[in-house]
């Protein structure tokens, strides 16, 4: 399946929206995360709408809330907007407290449609892989960057894996489970260092 001009437009829109954003504490341009999530969705059989939503999955949370979601709906259609809404843990600014927001997102993820679950799973998979690399490089200092800290982040990863697996089976869940195990090993190794 070839992608259309819509995908190129979505990539450009995502790059513009997140132009000044970097990955937490790394200086790495944020668009790299969006590209990785989009690639994972595409590699796991996602439709063009799902890949577009993957490229824009953080736009509502980080770049304008409901106003941005409305712009995405107008520009890329209702299915893309619905997937992004399902992937967003908030659409308000300032964001609600971290734990409250994440608990509500875990609950909503359990009943999300399979198309949105694939995007959410790809996002969490890339986040876990990236976090593993940073832990191996920096050790426990990394936890200072995360609102949930070490314990909260560990809880959230486990809870999301469980929520995604509720009434949905997909090969990406095995990858997510493997990534969680690798992350825990890296964390354990860092603790012993």
DSSP output for 107-147 = HHHHTS-HHHHHHHHHHHHHHHHHHHHHHHHHGGGGGGG-T
User: Is 62 known to be catalytic?
Assistant: yes
User: What residue has token string 């299915």?
Assistant: 79
Q: Which of 48, 58, 61, 123 is catalytic?
A: 61
Backbone angles phi, psi at 37, to 5 degrees: -65, -45
Q: Is residue 41 a contact partner of residue 65, using CB atoms and an 8 Å limit? A: no
User: Is 91 known to be catalytic?
Assistant: no
Q: Which of 9, 62, 91, 138 is catalytic?
A: 62
C-alpha 61/C-alpha 4 separation (Å) is 26
**Catalytic residues, which ones?**
61-62
């Amino acid at each position: 399946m070839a992608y259309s001009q819509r995908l190129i437009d979505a990539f450009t829109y995502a790059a513009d929206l997140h132009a000044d954003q970097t990955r937490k504490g790394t200086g790495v341009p944020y668009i790299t995360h969006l590209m990785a999530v989009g690639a994972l969705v595409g590699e796991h059989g996602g439709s063009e709408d799902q890949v577009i939503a993957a490229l824009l999955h953080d736009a509502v949370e980080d770049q304008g809330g409901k106003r941005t979601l409305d712009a995405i709906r107008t520009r890329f259609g209702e299915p893309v907007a619905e997937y992004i809404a399902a992937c967003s843990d908030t659409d308000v600014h300032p964001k609600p407290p971290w734990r409250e927001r994440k608990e509500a997102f875990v609950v909503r993820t359990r009943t999300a449609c399979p198309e949105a679950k694939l995007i959410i799973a790809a996002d969490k998979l890339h986040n876990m892989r990236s976090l593993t690399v940073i832990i191996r490089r920096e050790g426990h200092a990394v936890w200072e960057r995360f609102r949930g800290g070490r314990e909260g982040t560990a809880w959230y990863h486990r809870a999301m894996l469980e929520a995604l697996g509720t009434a949905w089976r997909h090969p990406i869940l095995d990858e997510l489970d493997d990534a969680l195990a690798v992350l825990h090993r890296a964390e354990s190794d860092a603790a012993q260092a």
